[in-house]
Chains A and B, each alone.
Chain A
């Protein structure tokens, strides 16, 4: 079935960016406040799922030529990697470090390795959700 819903497609063009921005906002508010990689990833993937629903799979895959199974794998690699990274520095597995740095534009900024961990979680969530959606849609 070919869907050609102009209103939905036009709205989606705008809404996808709002959802993506909200997802990033949720992601960065994480680890000290409510938010973080998991729900950030869920929101991000909901934007992608919306794109897949409104356009067909081929169009979106042409625009975003990414294998989402690999995205999930990269995510898990980040998660386990930050855990093992702590071992290499002689700390307990999964230890996280943070520090304050003077950055040119942002001024004094707190940088934490937990962001890498959360990024891994987000990627794993996005990869998994989109892969599930795509495999179900292939079956129908």
Chain B
């Protein structure tokens, strides 16, 4: 029994509910939501270190033992993602304090951000497939509210698409769960893993696995990303940053969990399929990123490219590549949040979003310009920034598996990321200034501080990679050896 395991979900949930009663007191809402996120960070760091000494932790809700009860399982992989979520959300909250405005703050903005985090953390930590569905729904319901909050025309148009596509994929999720329960008779992930290994992953189970692949690829934007660029460019900057940093990552996490713990017996079918989908995603995302000249669209297509890139690690399915994917996941949560915040700040300052309409911003806002440049380098994987180590390991793993086509596409897509962002940089930051020094809107430090913090984070993650390497190695080891996870859940009497 480790009640601490549930805290990353309960703290934001409880605080979110409390904030509903504090609707008129915006200042109190800001302080308390920040307190909740900091408390979550502290709890998660504690869990992460506890895992290193005690092994995988689990908490049986209400004392019902697995496989009968619902439980939370914290291994290094999920806890690393929870930690990154909490840190990134705290910084985005800092940005939203001075950017979203009273119209949002009075309409339960902070409670829903906290509910979103609760759903995301719950999805990372749960050890039960149906509970994963529930946590997904918590996260999605909060995101439906956040995407429509404000009620601008474009938001409503995009939210219809977003809601319909997610309701559909949730329905498929439910169907997949029903099939799996009908075939195997359990929904506890560790128990599923054991039973699938016992009966062998026949054609029926492989098809069920592909249904899950469909569901999670709709959620994470793998191949089925057509809804993503529109939805992620509609809401206000802070919300878009939250979505870009967190939401697709939950789908990616679920895919990693499902295809390393449950359906890992027929990699030449499922993992090859993931590889093909990842390749097409990277090609499509790259085309999108260079085709549009709207900053928000370019940034959203960069999310798509990354989804493909991370899943290359899962497709080639060896420990080195998985290590790379985990590094890249953590890096991408930080740096995508930064990218969305910077893009939003540029649009806020100029009032325009097309490349051709912006120019010479670096004269007016040098710090913003340099931050954007650092972000570009980090996304392109230039050492010593955080993108480098993940790319290196994914490349190494792909070479090890002999998947040279995937390797070529993955690194070419990196070039397209670099090109698309340099295009923003050269068009918007270089050249003649469009804003004279007299009437330039002031860039308040409170808007800049969160961006600087995230910039520091990507630098620290790159330089201090030794600091988290033990955790990442442990995470990859657990993913590649499902019996470790199964042992901790089913056999360990703690």
Contacts and interface: CB of A to CB of B under 8 A. Distances in A.
Interface of A: 69-70, 73, 76-77, 80-81, 83-84, 86-87, 91-96
The 7 A-B pairs at the shortest CB distance, nearest first, are namely A73-B20, A94-B62, A94-B61, A87-B3, A93-B6, A92-B63, A95-B62
B59 A92 contact: yes
Contacts of A87: 3, 6
A115 to B, nearest CB: 15
19 contacts: A70-B21, A73-B20, A73-B21, A76-B13, A77-B17, A80-B13, A80-B14, A84-B10, A84-B14, A91-B1, A91-B63, A92-B59, A92-B60, A92-B61, A93-B6, A93-B61, A93-B62, A95-B63, A96-B62
Given A73-B21, A87-B6, A92-B63, 13 more contacts: A76-B13, A77-B17, A80-B13, A80-B14, A80-B17, A83-B6, A86-B62, A92-B1, A93-B59, A93-B62, A94-B62, A95-B62, A96-B62
Contacts of B62: 86, 92-96
Contacts of A86: 62
A92 B61 CA distance: 6
Most buried by B among A69, A81, A94: A94
B456 interface: no
B291 interface: no
A70 B62 CA distance: 27
Nearest to B64: A92
Contacts of B63: 91-92, 95
The interface residues of chain B, by DSSP majority, are classed as helix
Contacts of A95: 62-63
Given A83-B10, A84-B10, A93 B18 contact: no
A83 B6 CA distance: 10
A76 B20 CA distance: 11
A76 B15 CA distance: 11
A126 to B, nearest CB: 16
Contact of A69 (B18, B20, B60): B20
Interface in B1-59: 1, 3, 6, 10, 13-14, 17-18, 20-21, 59
Nearest to B11: A84
Nearest to A87: B3
B217 to A, nearest CB: 31
The main secondary structure of chain A at its interface with chain B is helix
A92 B3 contact: yes
Interface string B397-423: 000000000000000000000000000
Nearest to A93: B6
A57 B477 CA distance: 60
B20 A80 contact: no
Contact of A77 (B6, B10, B18): B18
A81 to B, nearest CB: 8
Q: Which of A69, A70, A91, A93 has the most CB of B within 10 A?
A: A93
Given A92-B60, A92-B62, A80 B10 contact: yes
A84 B3 CA distance: 9
Interface string B290-313: 000000000000000000000000
Given A92-B61, A93-B59, A93-B61, A70 B17 contact: no
A91 to B, nearest CB: 7
A79 to B, nearest CB: 9
Given A80-B10, A87-B3, A73 B61 contact: no
Contacts of B59: 92-93
A86 B10 CA distance: 13
Contacts of A92: 1, 3, 59-63
A15 B63 CA distance: 42
B239 to A, nearest CB: 21
A76 B118 CA distance: 14
Which residue of A77, A86, A92 has the most chain B CB atoms within 10 A of its CB atom? A92
A73 B14 CA distance: 10
A72 to B, nearest CB: 8
Contacts of B60: 92
A70 B108 CA distance: 12
A136 to B, nearest CB: 15
B63 to A, nearest CB: 5
Nearest to A76: B17
A81 B13 CA distance: 11
Given A93-B61, A94-B62, A70 B20 contact: yes
B10 A73 contact: no
Nearest to B4: A87
Contacts of B17: 73, 76-77, 80
A16 to B, nearest CB: 28
B461 to A, nearest CB: 32
A95 B61 CA distance: 7
Nearest to B71: A92
Contacts of A69: 20
B21 A93 contact: no
Interface string B322-354: 000000000000000000000000000000000
Nearest to B1: A92
B213 to A, nearest CB: 32
B140 to A, nearest CB: 16
A73 B6 CA distance: 20
A93 B63 CA distance: 8
